[in-house]
Amino acid sequence: MLMAGITKHSTTLADGRELIYFDDAHSTLPPERAIDSRVLDPRPATASMRQDPLTDEWVSIAAARQNRVFLPPADQDPLAPASPANPSEVPSNYDVAVFENRSPSFGPSHDAFDPALLDEIGLGRSLPSVGRCEVVCFSPEHEGSFGTLTESRARTVIEAWADRTEALSAIPGVQQVFPFENRGEEIGVTLRHPHGQIYSYPYITPRTQRVVASIEKFGPGLFQSILDFEGASDRVVLRGEHWTAFVPFAARWPIEVHMLPHRHIPDFAATNDAERTELAGMYLRVLRGIDALYTTPTPYIAAWHQAPVTVARDDIRLMLQVTSPRRAETKLKYLAGSEAAMGAWIGDILPEQTAAFIREGIDRA
C-alpha cells in the first residue's frame, strides 16, 4: 500500500510491457497519461540461463541486451518524457516512472519451472530465465542520480521500490527481488538519465546463499549482532532513529557504506511510513557525502539486498550496500587476479580511515 499521499497510475506500452507512474505527494501533473503510439518490434524471447557445474551458479544468456542504447545525446534520451523528436519509453511527463525493460536479463515469461531443478548439478543444463527486469526512472531530467533528487522525490522512489518489491515477489517462479542503482560510466552505465533497476531472479542469488550459510554457522540474530557491533564502532557515518549507516569492519572496496534498519525488516514492502520518511533524507545525505569526497561525482553501485521471497525471511534483513572502486581523485581499484579469479579480496584502505573521510564528506555536503 502506498503511503505519504503518493499515487500510482498503471498503463501499457505499445508492445505490451507494463508502465507505472508514481506521482509525488504534491505533484502538479494531471492524472491523464498519453498513449504510447509507437510501432515496436515484438518483445524478445525469454532468455535462457545455463548452469556452471563448478560453482552451481546460473548464468543468464540474454543476447538481446547487445542492442541496448549506449550513451545517447540528450535529445534522444529513451528515459525522458516523449516528444515528437524523441519517441521515448515514457509517453507522458512524470515524477517517477517504472517500466519493464525492453531487453531484459530475466523474463518476460512468467512460466515458473519446478524449483527442484535448481538443486541438481550436471553438464549442459539450461533453464528459462523466468522473472522480470524493470527500469526505475527517478526523474524526467536527462542527467543526475538518486543523490541529486529532492527529499520529496526520494520518498516517491522509495514508495515505488516498496510497491514493486511486493508485486514482483508475487510473480510465479521469482525467488528474490533486487533494487539497485549503477552510477557513472566507470561502473558501466550506458544512460546518463537518473535511474535504477529492479531484477527479479528465479533463484536465490549466490551472494545471498553465502549469507544463508553464514547465518547457519553464526546462529539467529546475525544482522542485529552486526548492527550492534558496528554501531559501537568509530566506523558509523550517520545514525538516525530508524537506520544506521557505517563502513563495514571488513570493507572490500575503497569506498563502501552499509545501512541497516534498527528493527528486523526483510524487504522494502515491510517498511513503515516513519522508516521510509527517515530513509529518504538519510540516504540522500550518504550519497551526497560520497559525492563531496572529490571534485567530480563518484561512481558507485547502490545495492539493496533483500531477503528471498520464501526462505530466511526471519533471518535476513533489508540492507543497503554502496560500493565504489574510486581509491583516489584520479585512481580506480580494478579487480585483478586475486579478487576476480579467486574471490580473495585485498583492501587498500583502512575502513576506519574511510569512515572518517566519508563523515567529512557528509559534513561538507
The CATH number covering residue 358 comes to 3.30.428.10
Say whether both 232 and 348 belong to one domain.
yes
* Residue 352 resides in a domain: yes
Q: Per residue in 16-37, is it b (16+ CB within 10 Å) or e — as a string? A: ebebbbbbbbebebeeebeebe
**Residue 148 sits in the same domain as residue 28:** yes
pLDDT at 110: 67
Residue 185 domain boundaries: 7-203
Question: Final residue of a domain: which of 143, 176, 203?
Answer: 203
Q: What is the pLDDT of residues 92-111, one digit of tens each?
A: 999 999 999 999 999 987 67
Q: 70 and 140, same structural domain?
A: yes
The answer to whether residue 355 is domain-embedded is yes
pLDDT at 113: 81
Determine which one of 195, 242, 258, 305 is catalytic.
Answer: 195
Residues 17 and 142 in one domain: yes
pTM: 0.97
285 and 158 in a common domain: no
Cβ atoms of 273 and 4 within 8 Å: the answer is: yes
Q: Which of 203, 221, 248 is the last residue of a domain?
A: 203
Give the per-residue pLDDT at 281: 98
Rounded CA separation 8/20 (Å):
7
Low-confidence ranges of the chain (pLDDT < 70): 66-67, 110
Are residue 272 and residue 321 in the same domain, yes or no?
yes
Same domain, 20 and 166: yes
Active site residue 110: no
Answer whether residue 199 is part of any domain: yes
Task: Identify the pLDDT of residue 70.
Answer: 77
Q: Which of 203, 237, 259 is the last residue of a domain?
A: 203
Q: Is 32 domain-assigned?
A: yes
At 95 the pLDDT is 98
Instruction: Assess if residue 1 is contained within a domain.
Output: no
Total count of domains within the chain: 2
Residue 195 maps to a domain: yes
**194 & 217 share domain:** no
Task: Tell whether 281 is covered by a domain.
Answer: yes
Question: Would residue 76 count as lying in a domain?
Answer: yes
Do 228 and 358 reside in the same domain of the chain?
yes
Specify which residues 132 forms β-bridges with: 200
Q: Are residues 215 and 197 in the same domain?
A: no
151 and 111 within one domain = yes
Does 328 lie in the same domain as 194? no
